[in-house]
Chains A and B, each alone.
Chain A
């Protein structure tokens, strides 16, 4: 009995510690972005929306926010389409391609992104120089480095639903592969798409190194603009961080909502 109670208390402490550890930096950033002065006291001496107003007046605020959102959304679409097609093919038709695909998907984790950026500049410089310094190259780079997030989420999802057997069931019921994918597989990939989608969107939205090296200030995204701001006004930088995070959270909620609706849409289509 005593052991059980001790376990519960320990669990509570660990959970509380984890929450504080995760939330505290965020709360501190939010407070700092709202503070008028915060130097020697434990909490800000005064609060105002001045930093946010200053942020809105910045010429690069909206364009960079639009660029980052578009870039993250584009990356998400490319990665989701590629991973869904690749993984359904691997699970359904060629399971022997699974191990090499898994190995390839680990490369972005193993290589520093700076190396990836330099390799891409070198490669495309030789093969297709017109793409250098363009947002398209950045989009492709983001797609390449954030693919593992989607790959592993979808891979687990496809395993959990036993995709191969569902595909075979669809085939024996007269469905072509694309029909089985549309009605029976895709609607069940909601959890994988939601988890992977959130990670891909967030990682692309907040990515700095690749953007700096591949397009520079010719196409500034939020993190790049933030880097220039930090020496001018740290409070405005914090305000940008909070806005960026809010966009990522809203996008994640939208992705989760869309993924949860996949099932319903397929069922409605099937009833037509």
Chain B
């Protein structure tokens, strides 16, 4: 039994179904990332867990207690908002103490809790400042400390880093994970940033059009997605729709090309399948010892990303993506004909029902 249990959750806005048949269990101390494109229902789900929106169906239980219709102020679900939502009239110290003050916690206990959280979130130097005197990263740390000060049963984070610059985002991401593990609290983290979800979460829930598309560990979701949507949304993958050419040896036909795969994941000859080939598994030139699959195409675009270079290749009219180390990609130029190879193991087959 999970610490947070969500069963058949549904939410409609007029004729639009925002969340449908959402089922999830979250263990105590676990961090779950809800990942998906804008409008897929991840924030709506989080708001229903917080009690800010009422579901049209389903049930939410926290630590065994049905909280589906419990108002937000009685739910003890701490939430961190994308817009920080700090009270502008209060200092950092007052913001952090707000929840305990409302709960009637005596001043000495409140101050003790605030001091501990300020230390945990490295805010000791800013306690007497007002929100407008803080940087974006500091504000979000205050929001986190404020949410934790109420000693919530669950921590909910709604795209907390999306308003921040890339370097601050990365450092704060690691800090959130450290604090979450230290506090050992069940946490649900909403993001549309796959890198953030993969780096932070114990498990990732990929959502599409209000439904859960796939749940798995970051490694599973990244390396062995079970759905074409997850494969397309997470990572830089080449996604090809083909037909199983033969089960032994396992091979898939994609247009004129035939790929050898390590496994067909149960698909039989003639079955329609989706083949996922991660862009980083493509190499310039043949594989060592002549193994694996080889394609030949024309480089149509080359973009430098520091340690790696992304190149787009047109193969029989189809666009392929390869992420190569920048040193390996150096000889490539746009318009050049290149051969790329990838091992059989990198062809992940998804059976299309």
Q: Which of A168, A175, A263, A267 makes the CB contact (< 8 A) with B81?
A: A168
Q: Does B76 contact A (CB under 8 A)?
A: yes
Q: Does B304 contact A (CB under 8 A)?
A: no
Judging by beta carbons under 8 Å apart, are B99 and A173 in contact?
yes
For B88, what are the chain A residues with a Cβ–Cβ distance below 8 Å?
A: 161, 188
Q: Does A187 contact B (CB under 8 A)?
A: yes
Q: Does B295 contact A (CB under 8 A)?
A: no
A interface bracket (residues with beta carbon within 8 Å of B): 20 to 34
Judging by beta carbons under 8 Å apart, are A266 and B150 in contact?
no
Judging by beta carbons under 8 Å apart, are B50 and A172 in contact?
yes
CA distance A162 to B81 in the complex (A): 12
For A179, what are the chain B residues with a Cβ–Cβ distance below 8 Å?
A: 102
Q: How many whole Å from A198's CB to the nearest CB in chain B?
A: 21
Judging by beta carbons under 8 Å apart, are B78 and A172 in contact?
yes
Q: How many whole Å from A86's CB to the nearest CB in chain B?
A: 22
Count A-B contacts at CB 8 Å. Answer: 87
Judging by beta carbons under 8 Å apart, are B85 and A270 in contact?
no
Q: Does A169 contact B (CB under 8 A)?
A: yes
Q: Does A85 contact B (CB under 8 A)?
A: no
A266/B89 contact (C-beta < 8 A), A172-B72, A175-B73 known: yes
From A168, A262, A267, A270, residue with most partner B Cβ within 10 Å: A270
| Complex: chain A residue closest to B93, CB-CB | A271
Q: Does B51 contact A (CB under 8 A)?
A: yes
Q: Which of A166, A174, A187, A272 makes the CB contact (< 8 A) with B150?
A: A174
Q: Does B211 contact A (CB under 8 A)?
A: no
For A263, what are the chain B residues with a Cβ–Cβ distance below 8 Å?
A: 89
For A267, what are the chain B residues with a Cβ–Cβ distance below 8 Å?
A: 89-91, 94
For A183, what are the chain B residues with a Cβ–Cβ distance below 8 Å?
A: 87, 98, 102
| Complex: chain A residue closest to B146, CB-CB | A173
Q: Does A16 contact B (CB under 8 A)?
A: no
| Complex: chain B residue closest to A190, CB-CB | B89
Judging by beta carbons under 8 Å apart, are B94 and A271 in contact?
yes
Q: Which of A162, A165, A166, A171 makes the CB contact (< 8 A) with B51?
A: A171
Q: How many whole Å from A177's CB to the nearest CB in chain B?
A: 8
Judging by beta carbons under 8 Å apart, are A176 and B90 in contact?
no
CA distance A266 to B87 in the complex (A): 11
Q: Does B52 contact A (CB under 8 A)?
A: yes
Q: Which of B51, B72, B81, B87 makes the CB contact (< 8 A) with A184?
A: B87
Judging by beta carbons under 8 Å apart, are A171 and B94 in contact?
no
Q: How many whole Å from B213's CB to the nearest CB in chain A?
A: 28
A 134-177 binary contact with B (CB < 8 Å = 1; else 0): 00000000000000000000000000011001101111111110
Residues of B in contact with A (beta carbons under 8 Å apart): 50-52, 71-79, 81, 83, 85-91, 94, 97-99, 101-103, 107, 146-147, 150, 156
Can you list 21 contacts pairing A with B, beta carbon distance less than 8 Å?
A165-B83, A168-B52, A168-B72, A170-B87, A171-B51, A172-B50, A172-B51, A172-B156, A173-B78, A175-B98, A179-B102, A183-B102, A184-B87, A184-B98, A187-B89, A266-B90, A267-B94, A270-B97, A271-B94, A271-B107, A272-B107
